[in-house]
Structure 1
Amino acid sequence: MEQSTISIRIDSQLKKDFEEFCKNVGMNMTTAISIFATTVVKEQRIPFEISADPFYSEKNMARLRKSMREMEENGGTVHEVIHD
């Protein structure tokens, strides 16, 4: 089977964590990514659930736009956020 190379950019810490995971389960990153790609092609789907961050939902974006409009029209109050 002819081999090809894929070059990707990934966060450095994520790469280290992924390498460590792969090592712990007895494989390298190439094998893990090949397993992922093979499964995607075979099943014709991403083999795990992907969900959107609800912050970016259209309903929330509409609410944020409305709030911004109200603040621009009526002024607003600044609230200090206190972290424990």
Structure 2
Amino acid sequence: MEKSATLNLRINPTLKSEAETVLSRLGIPMSTAVDMFLNQVVLVGGIPFSVTLPKAPADIDASQMTDAALHAKLQKGYDDYRAGRTENAAEAFKKFRETHR
């Protein structure tokens, strides 16, 4: 099939770079990956994967907790804060990203 249409997209530069790294390791150019995705959209008549919100574990999902359980979690967090058992959020996320690549 002739390729003559142009698709211009604005995406997060970090996401683009990370995707290019993965695709490069697979030997697939970005344009081919986008082509593959669009072919699958046509073949399945929609997005070719499930689009859902992640399910939070019950022990951290406030909507699943009783008032007493939620209060206990909040109290523990407050007690940890008062005792200095905390970490800067930016640093914690940085460590998480480095560990889970």
May I ask how many residue pairs the two structures share in their alignment? 62
SS across alignment from 2:35 = helix
Please give the root-mean-square deviation of Cα atoms over the aligned residues, in Å. Answer: 2.4
1:15 match: 16
Query: What letter is aligned with 1:16?
Result: S
1:3 match: 4
Displacement after TM superposition at 1:52 (Å): 3.8
Distance in 1 between residues matched to 2:23 and 2:10, nearest whole Å: 18
Q: Which structure would you say has the larger RCO, counting Cα contacts within 8 Å and 6 or more residues apart?
A: 1
Runs (5+) with no aligned partner, structure 2:
56-62, 64-77, 88-101
Aligned ranges 1:45-64 → 2 under 5 Å: 45-52=46-53
Moved over 4 A (4+): none
Per the normalisation by structure 1, the TM-score is 0.61
